[in-house]
Amino acid sequence: MGIFKILIIEDEKSIARFLELELNHEGYEVSVCYDGREGLNNIKDNKYDLIILDIMLPSLNGIEVCRRTRMFSNVPIIMLTAKDNILDKVMGLDIGADDYITKPFAIEELLARIRVVKRKEFKNNEDQSTMVIHDLNLNTMTREVSRNGKKIELTKREYDLLEYLLRNINIVLSREQLLEIVWGYNYIGDTNVVDVYIRYLRSKIDDDFEIKLIHTVRGVGYVIKECKDIN
C-alpha cells in the first residue's frame, strides 16, 4: 500500500505542529497548510490518502474547501473544528466529509479514526484505481491512460483534464468549471486555454477511433460520454 500520506489544513500553528509530530511518530507522511486556498491547491497538485481539515480557516473556510475538493476528488476528509454545533456537523457530512471531530479531542481518538480510514481505503483501493468508459482506461494510481489496449502519453495538464472529465461522466462541464478545477483558482488568463487542451486530448484519445468520447455542447462546455458527437 505504501506510506500513508496525510495533509493537515489547520491555521492554529500549535495544533498543526502537534498533529504533525504525533502523526509522524505513527509513521505517516505529513504535510501542513495554514490557509484554505493553499490547502485546496495542495489537494489538487498532490496525491494524499487523507485530509484533516479545520473549518475556521483564512482565505477559504473548511466547508468550502471540502465542497470544492469533492468536485474532483474522493480523498477521505476528517473535519476538525472547535465548533460543537450540530448544524456544522451535518453540513460538513452532507457536502462530503467522511468524519468529524470536535476540539478539544484526544489524539488516540483521531488515530483510531485514521485507522478506520486506512482499512476502508485498503479494501476499496484496487476497485477505485481504474476509471473506464468504453475502451478508454485511466489508472489513478499510476496515472496511465490507454485506449483499446494502446498506451496514450499525456502531459500532466492533459491527464488532469481527462481525469476530471471522467469523474463527471455524462455531466456537461463549463469552461469556467474546468478552468477553476484543472488550472486552479489563481489562474489568470483566457478561458480559450480549455478549448486548446480539449483539442490536444481529442487528438490523442479520439481522432484515431471511430467512437468519440469527448463532446462539445455549444454555448455550455464539454462532456465525456459514449455516443455520437452532439456538436
- Mean pLDDT by groups of 10 residues along the chain of 231 residues: 84 95 91 96 92 94 93 90 68 82 88 83 61 91 91 94 89 86 70 91 94 93 75 45
C-alpha 92/C-alpha 8 separation (Å) is 16
pLDDT of residue 20: 96
User: 137 and 105 share a domain?
Assistant: no
Chain Cα centroid distance, residue 54: 17
pLDDT of residue 177: 85
Is residue 229 in a domain? Answer: no
Strands 136-139 and 130-133: antiparallel
pLDDT of residue 200: 96
pLDDT of residue 231: 45
Is residue 119 in a domain? Answer: yes
pLDDT of residue 195: 94
**Domain-terminating residue out of 128, 158, 178:** 128
pLDDT of residue 230: 43
User: 89 and 106 share a domain?
Assistant: yes
- Helix axes 62-69 and 86-94, enclosed angle (nearest 10): 20
User: 124 and 134 share a domain?
Assistant: no
Tell me which residue range forms the domain holding 44: 5-128
Is residue 111 in a domain? Answer: yes
Helix (H) or strand (E) holding 174, with range, is strand 173-174
Is residue 47 in a domain? Answer: yes
User: 46 and 144 share a domain?
Assistant: no
pLDDT of residue 192: 87
pLDDT of residue 229: 45
Q: Which residues of 64-101 are buried (b: 16+ CB within 10 A; e: fewer)?
A: bbbbbbeebbebbbbbbbebeeeebbebbeebbbbbbb
Specify the number of domains making up the chain. 2
End-to-end CA distance of the chain: 43
User: 103 and 22 share a domain?
Assistant: yes
**Domain-terminating residue out of 67, 102, 128:** 128
